[in-house]
Amino acid sequence: MQSSFLFFGALGALVGVGMGAFGAHGLKNMISPEMLTVYQTGVSYQMWHALGLIGIALIRRNEPESKLLNWAGWLMLTGIVLFSGSLYLLAIMGLKELGMVTPFGGVSFLLAWLLLAVYATKKAPASRYSSRSR
């Protein structure tokens, strides 16, 4: 696969849109307003982090071997599964035990963004099209 993060980002956004529509139309009369808010939080975080994965995929085109970007991408995907997934199951199925999983997803998100910030402080790789080659 050319770009796992582009694939998972696009898939995450696709599923996020579907989950958002399901929540807005299918769940609004089935679960409490509080649980609908929990569900919507899962959708929101999934969508933002799906876009984050797509961003990482695009950045990796310049430096495909970056360990920081690779870790950031996998942590972001892990965060989507743990954070958003646990909120979906909590809201729909009432599995309160999954509330213990949600913070691990949140920490995964935080670490992913931290690694992306660290990457941003690193010296940029030499461009093939530097001003000297003109």
Per-residue pLDDT tens for 111-122? 999 999 999 998
Q: Is the pLDDT of residue 55 over 90?
A: yes
Separation of alpha carbons 84 and 128, rounded Å: 40
Please state, as a whole number, how many other Cβ atoms lie within 10 Å of the Cβ of residue 76.
Answer: 28
In angstroms, how far apart are the furthest CA atoms of the chain? Answer: 64
Which stretches of 22-66 are DSSP H helices? 33-60
- C-alpha count within 13 angstroms, C-beta hemisphere, residue 118: 13
Predicted local confidence at residue 129, as pLDDT: 53
**Could you tell me the residue ranges of all domains in the chain?**
4-119
Per-residue pLDDT tens for 76-130? 999 999 999 999 999 999 888 888 999 999 999 999 999 999 999 987 655 555 5
